[in-house]
Chains A and B, each alone.
Chain A
């Protein structure tokens, strides 16, 4: 399918108190591209990612995803949209299951049963060896390992868009390297569109096709 993966026009988003926290007059995200989001804490990066991940419904404006308008009917079945655009948020957690069960969970939600090889490949893509980690309970993982397992659980889904919110925050050098490499491999291997919010501006400027800077919920620089 041709055309951008996302097309946003006149988007406003607000939380419960009605105060507008995001204002995007126009934004197109091409398929297979990498979009970087920069900005201070509270600038609206996470809000934009939640909107792109269909976890937050805009209060105004129009949104297209994969060539289709995301209207009220589509929002009623938002889980179908989320199966195309998967978010790894800052507040993501693992389920209280084994590593393998965590990696396979998203597939099972889609009625699919990944093979051991599929799970091993997903774990390998984030630098974890299945033999050592697959059967390990979630609570025996370090913070960095848990983040990598959470990423593997999303990579195995081969989504159209992978939305990463501060994916390397608080990680050591080794885990950071694996997370960055795995994310970029998803783009080169499956054509996954990446949207990455990060304070690591060197990484964003090196890997992203476009870097947008947000301030108080508005895009203040970069190409949209």
Chain B
């Protein structure tokens, strides 16, 4: 156990000393997560609303597709994005392979189905009386959309927190599309994998502590949002 306690002690030192290499990975993780989450929300919220609110031909198939994408292995997503962005790929000339934006696109494909699916479920489970109430007060379609999104706000924040948790802890896409380049595309998860492989437990543990803290905060937020969301639907008169 000595190596573990020594690694833990060194990890705390690295964090307290704001070790540049460690915090470079933290920064890269924050940047790609922010980009991917923002893109997932911008695209996913309206799509999720449409899927949950409107009745259209092919809706069930669309729902099945989203659920299928939810369970797609991340290495497969990484492989697809790699194939698209590689020099010989159809989007190779964009030069996105081994860059933070390229990683963010790959991670968006991971977060998007989560946002769409959970938003659709939130909108579907929004009190059916809400639509008639808002329409009877004179709302147009966009105002109805806004009201529904506001009423389902805690459930959608829950979706965002879930997507965040999945994106920030992802390793397969980050490794394949980002290339794990030091000071550039090395994230917390890819750095942990690399450093552990090299026997550098201290750096791995230091980054693991950061990731666990992030996971703890995300879980606390998710728990709070879940409680608020449940309370909203219990008490409506």
Contacts and interface: CB of A to CB of B under 8 A. Distances in A.
A and B found bound together: yes
A146 interface: yes
B138 A86 contact: yes
B124 interface: no
A147 B141 CA distance: 25
Interface in A109-146: 109-110, 138-139, 141, 143, 146
A187 interface: no
A87 B130 CA distance: 13
B136 interface: yes
Given A94-B236, A96-B151, A153 B130 contact: no
A82 B237 CA distance: 23
Interface in B190-237: 231-232, 235-237
Nearest to A85: B136
Interface residues of B, number: 23
A93 B136 CA distance: 11
Interface string B111-153: 0000000000000000111101111111111010001001100
B237 A146 contact: yes
Contact of A79 (B127, B132, B140, B151): B140
Most buried by B among A80, A95, A139: A95
Given A139-B235, A143-B237, A146-B237, A93 B137 contact: no
A217 B237 CA distance: 29
Most buried by B among A55, A93, A143: A93
A82 B135 contact: yes
A92 B136 contact: yes
A110 B138 contact: yes
Contact of A55 (B136, B140, B151, B235): B136
Given A55-B132, A93-B237, A83 B232 contact: no
Interface of B: 127-130, 132-141, 143, 147, 150-151, 231-232, 235-237
Q: What 8 pairs between A and B have smallest CB-CB spacing?
A: A83-B138, A139-B235, A146-B237, A106-B137, A87-B136, A79-B140, A93-B129, A91-B129
17 contacts: A53-B136, A79-B138, A79-B139, A79-B141, A80-B138, A82-B136, A82-B137, A88-B136, A91-B132, A92-B133, A94-B133, A105-B137, A109-B139, A139-B235, A147-B237, A154-B137, A157-B138
